[in-house]
Structure 1
């Protein structure tokens, strides 16, 4: 199926036209303040920026929202919460943005969420995966797009249980995201497979893994299977040392995020085969919505999108849908209007849950494979975010009233 960029923009205009022309509220653009770790985590955040740039172009070509164009004012937090808070203040007070968005690291996202709460400003988090953002520390003004650490673990646990491995070890970066992944995976696997044991843990600092020592410590525990939550250069170093020392031989590995192109591609011919992963099989998806997004992205940037591209694009469409439903960029009206809003993403339709402000965007689950000297995902399936969330009564107990 060939879909031209012009056709896609026309289609986007058709989808957005009805809510976009609710009523004009002046000719000035709606300003979205966006903060992210561009210099600290470029493998993800650069494609993410390209994704939101494409979405802004498409939304404005379709007429904008409420009769106004949208404009993104972007800042780089360098992965540091204090910098992110300072930049949020600058965006709010000097740039007069209508809402805040973005962030990558969970600790940065939680810091901006607290800032938004104190300043009564809407914050739409794109990438931070910490469940605390919408559960324990959730509040009226905070929304989160991506599947959380609980959701990522829930998507993987059925396949993990099928390994029938009793002795597990874990390796995860020692900050909010990594701690949360391990917590939920342990709880969910123990419920699914009574009698499972976790016999070792490694907590390398983000970006500073001593991969040789980490691999040696994991091997010493004599595990049957491994949970990995490292990503980026830490993942590459861990895989290289694990391959060299035979850590993965005869052991099942469950690995969060590893199937995302930005983390899988750098592994090249060192990609371990048969790992159970979450990710994005961009080279083999066939559904029309995904293909149309890929076509438009390639037309603009001359490369395939990555998971960051999907998150950046969906961040903008989710904000536009929330504004359209709210009929205003007044913060209190958006806080009332965003819950329940449905939006289009490259993976299909999703919505903002009224219960906890979690987005229902899902992700793909499959296995790693080596093809033509490159890593890829095989035997994959899409898991809708709605299907990876705990029962509503459990969420209510975790979220503040």
Structure 2
């Protein structure tokens, strides 16, 4: 065999190997996912289980467009700068053109800005600040969870029914807490013009001095309390408040406190009667939810948290969007997500074309103690569409340059 023949064979082999790699790469659709896994484990460990289960179900059913979904997941360091760097690495090194995830609102906003500048599709799974789909919204960003405004609006009937004038406000001093309190003030003033906000306690996230906060609230002599603390901050706040009797005879309206992630650690210290948004995981009996619950418990031998729902529906949404678009092309995916309908464990919902906000709702109820554990009672599901501004109002909120 001549050198010329050997060279021809080598070139053919190299070409075949290259084609094989290309074909292999085309067999999957890669999704870049980033989140604060190391710092927000209570929510994000179940969240990851949720999206892993969704990916497994989607791929077992043949994938999307004949291809399997592959998730490339990274920790965002709980820092906006690190999150943008990670997002850029996912796009440039991993070759993804679909991003999903984030938990903290300031990080969600940073990735929203990145998506707009780099023209990359981004589904914000969990961050709640209204700015992601309103003031800082862009063509490339959609959001799954009910926003701070939506969840505050869901709690407004309870807050107004309390008929209290003097309110104390407690919130973590970053974008989520600030946005939630701004929404509460706006909605309360609109419905109850004589309302007074007698103290605002805004400790740093993860650094609440619960004793000082509770004392300051008691000193202000409020009639009621609006709380936005969560996680370990919430547990410290509840413990001090219970010990000092600050919650006695004072209605408390509290965002997220009925979510198992934050409720379960309270155990028998659960503050009975608080009006909350949350997730009564063992009391929902709809067929859609029971199917999810049974599959989740079979796979993980554990009960779902709200993070499990969010992770699961995040990937189900992306799969539905790609299927509707018939492509992973960014512009086609954006068009497909406008008005996209998705079936989730809480029932069907859609992504609004006007502001890219999903209409998935939340449960509203009261905290109670059952068998020494916290739970939700007197709860109902509130459809997200019922508490969102109209399309005309949204035009005033979103950037005109979109």
Q: 2:295 matched to 1:283? A: no
Residue 119 of structure 1 aligns with which residue? 118
User: After alignment, is 80-89 or 171-180 more displaced?
Assistant: 80-89
Query: Per the alignment, do residues 340 and 26 of structure 1 end up closer, same or farther by CA in structure 2, a change over 3 Å counting?
Result: farther
Query: Per the alignment, do residues 26 and 326 of structure 1 end up closer, same or farther by CA in structure 2, a change over 3 Å counting?
Result: farther
Residue 145 of structure 2 aligns with which residue? 146
Partners of 2:30 and 2:331 lie apart in 1 by 16
Q: 2:389 matched to 1:386? A: no
**What SS does structure 1 have at the residue aligned with 2:331?**
helix
Residue 348 of structure 1 aligns with which residue? 347
Partners of 1:184 and 1:50 lie apart in 2 by 32
Residue 21 of structure 1 aligns with which residue? none
Partners of 1:397 and 1:89 lie apart in 2 by 31
**What SS does structure 1 have at the residue aligned with 2:288?**
helix
User: Cα distance, 1:87 vs. partner?
Assistant: 0.8
User: Cα distance, 1:394 vs. partner?
Assistant: 1.7
Instruction: Give RMSD over aligned pairs.
Output: 1.2
User: Cα distance, 1:391 vs. partner?
Assistant: 2.3
Partners of 2:62 and 2:290 lie apart in 1 by 23
Q: 2:53 matched to 1:65? A: no
Q: 2:250 matched to 1:254? A: no
Residue 8 of structure 2 aligns with which residue? none
User: Cα distance, 1:338 vs. partner?
Assistant: 1.2
Partners of 1:60 and 1:378 lie apart in 2 by 37
Q: Deviations over 1:43-70 (max 9, x none)?
A: 0000000000000011111111111110
Which residues of 2 match residues 2-401 of structure 1 at below 5 A? 27-401=26-400
Partners of 1:255 and 1:361 lie apart in 2 by 20
Partners of 1:27 and 1:92 lie apart in 2 by 16
User: Cα distance, 1:27 vs. partner?
Assistant: 4.6
Q: Does the CA-based 8 Å contact 1:30-1:98 persist in structure 2?
A: no
Which structure has the larger Rg? 2
Partners of 2:321 and 2:219 lie apart in 1 by 51
Partners of 2:350 and 2:392 lie apart in 1 by 19
Residue 6 of structure 2 aligns with which residue? none
Q: Deviations over 1:74-125 (max 9, x none)?
A: 0011211111111111110111113011000000000011111111000000
Q: Does the CA-based 8 Å contact 1:52-1:312 persist in structure 2?
A: yes
User: Cα distance, 1:32 vs. partner?
Assistant: 0.6
| 5+ residue gaps, structure 2 | 1-23
User: Cα distance, 1:193 vs. partner?
Assistant: 2.0
Residue 17 of structure 1 aligns with which residue? none
Partners of 1:28 and 1:219 lie apart in 2 by 61
User: After alignment, is 344-353 or 187-196 more displaced?
Assistant: 187-196
Q: Does the CA-based 8 Å contact 1:26-1:68 persist in structure 2?
A: no
**What SS does structure 2 have at the residue aligned with 1:258?**
strand
Partners of 2:308 and 2:253 lie apart in 1 by 24
TM-score, reference length from structure 1: 0.93
Superposition misfits of 4+ residues, deviation over 3 angstroms: none
| 5+ residue gaps, structure 1 | 1-24
**What SS does structure 2 have at the residue aligned with 1:147?**
coil
User: After alignment, is 372-381 or 282-291 more displaced?
Assistant: 282-291
User: Cα distance, 1:26 vs. partner?
Assistant: 8.5
**What SS does structure 1 have at the residue aligned with 2:63?**
coil
TM-score, reference length from structure 2: 0.93
